[in-house]
Structure 1
Amino acid sequence: MRADALRRREALIEAACELVRTRHEDSIPLEAIAQRAGVGIATLYRNFPDRISLRHACAAHLFNEAVALLEEARDAMASAPATVVEEAWTDLMWSLVRLGLGAIVPVFVPTDVHELPEDLQAITARVLELLNEVASDAQRAGLLDPEIDGLTVLVGLFTASRPQVEGLNALVPDLEATMVKIYLRGLQPRTPQNPSVEASTPSAHCA
């Protein structure tokens, strides 16, 4: 593919991701994506004959960005002191949030990941492999409960950062950041200073 054609294709992918990230919609008109990318609708269809092919390209873009972040964190955390691990872990979590996982994943990733093309399944497997590596280092540094694996961390992270209804955003300033902070604290191992979750469940109080 020629350099200019590749730039247009990448612009379309980035435009689609940005629109989903900011508008939180799963059916953004293809014309709006083309306009955002600064190309005509015919250029979009030359690159992506249907919406599914565009979604797969966006998923690959997102996963590859996640892989880059995870590899950077893994290299920083491996055999590092606890203070370095904590900084790298925290930076990784917030960098993944800034990717817009909460808004983008539900749109671009099918309910059954086995429906993805083989190349995307391979990238997904790489993401999970790296997640478990950094999770292991986070557990070593006392930042992550030993019972929680990398996949659970990721699923919880994009659940905590999913767009909320507008009324809730108006009631709680910086709602996304607040929810993510609460979630990250909840990932930490239980200690006498951080009591067991079970002790505060409704069933425990009702017993």
Structure 2
Amino acid sequence: MRADARRNRERLLEAALVAFSKDPTDEVTLERVARDAGVGIGTLYRHFPTREALIEEVYRAELTRLCESAPRLLASLSPDAALRTWMDGFIDYSATKRGLAEALRTVIAAGGQPFAQSRTMMEAALGELLRAAESVGIRQDVEPYDVLVAMSAISLWVSEPDRREQAGRVLDLLMDGLRFTR
């Protein structure tokens, strides 16, 4: 993909994320998304032939961004700090997914499967972080899926913006639990 086409695609995904996260699905037009991205409607349709394709790709882009952050975090932070930072990213990702919930329902109703690879991708990224963090005292008997379940529960609690600070404190408690040895 040419650099300008890649930039247009990214701008479309960003504009769609904002639009579908804030407004009911029926109120978001593809023309609005294209206008907010600073491109023409033809450019939008070249990248995303249907509304559902755009919504599904917005979700997948956010999932990919979260999962691909794991190796970058490990390259720049200590393993436990990388893990904790990724947990914060997961909470942000979950908030985005909640914002897209109505839009994602339309994708599923149209036969799309936006969540098909979510668990596998997240478990792989989290597993990499957990394995690296074993060297700094994180338990070796921890299953990535168990940690995902705990983080998902935390993210449900913080669906209200005024609870984000509390989520950080609860994630700190989770990290302390991951350090506990019997």
- Sort the TM-score into its range (normalised by shorter chain): 0.5 to 0.7
Structure 1 residues 190 and 48 mapped into 2: Cα distance closer, same or farther (>3 Å)?
Answer: closer
Which moved further from structure 2: 58-67 or 89-98? 89-98
Shift of 1:127: 2.5
Max radius of gyration: which structure? 1
Distance 1:132 1:56, change over 3 A: same
Q: Is 2:156 the partner of 1:159?
A: yes
Are 1:132 and 1:151, in contact at CA under 8 Å, matched by a contact in 2? no
1:54 CA displacement: 0.4
Gaps of 5+ in 1: 78-83, 170-174, 192-207
**1:189 partner amino acid:** G
Q: Partner letter of residue 102 of structure 1? A: A
Of 173, 177, 181 in structure 2, the residue corresponding to residue 189 of structure 1 is: 177
- 2:167 paired with 1:180: yes
Structure whose residues are more often helix by fraction:
2
Alignment of 1:50-65 (within 5 A): 50-65=50-65
Q: Deviations over 1:6-44 (max 9, x none)?
A: 3222211121123345x2654433232112101223332
Question: Residue 97 of structure 1: CA displacement?
Answer: 3.7
Change (3 A) 1:50 1:115: closer
1:130 to 112, 125, 133: 125
Letter in 2 for 1:129: A
Cα gap change, 1:151/1:42 in structure 2, threshold over 3 Å: closer, same or farther? same
Which protein, 1 or 2, shows the higher relative CO under an 8 Å CA cutoff with sep ≥ 6? 2
Indicate conservation of the 8 Å contact 2:13/2:54, yes or no: yes
Match of 1:45 in 2: 45
User: Who is 1:172 aligned against?
Assistant: none
Q: Deviations over 1:132-155 (max 9, x none)?
A: 332455577358995772431442
Q: TM-score w.r.t. structure 1 length?
A: 0.61
Shift of residue 190, structure 1, vs aligned partner: 9.3
Gaps in structure 2 of 5+ consecutive residues? none
SS in 2 for 1:149: helix
Give RMSD over aligned pairs.
3.9
* C-alpha displacement of 1:74: 4.6
Identity of counterpart residues, as a percentage? 24
The count of residues paired between Structure 1 and Structure 2 equals: 171
Contact 2:130 2:138 in 1 (8 A): no
Distance 1:190 1:141, change over 3 A: closer
Matched, 1:93 2:87: yes
1:8 corresponding residue in structure 2: 8
Contact 1:74 1:133 in 2 (8 A): no
Q: Is the 8 A contact 2:12 2:33 kept in 1?
A: yes
Letter paired with 2:97 = I
1:156-189 Cα deviation digits (max 9, x unpaired): 3542443x3xxxx6xxxxx142231243144242
Question: Counterparts of 1:82-121 in structure 2 under 5 Å?
Answer: 84-98=78-92, 100-104=93-97, 106-107=100-101, 115-116=112-113, 121=116
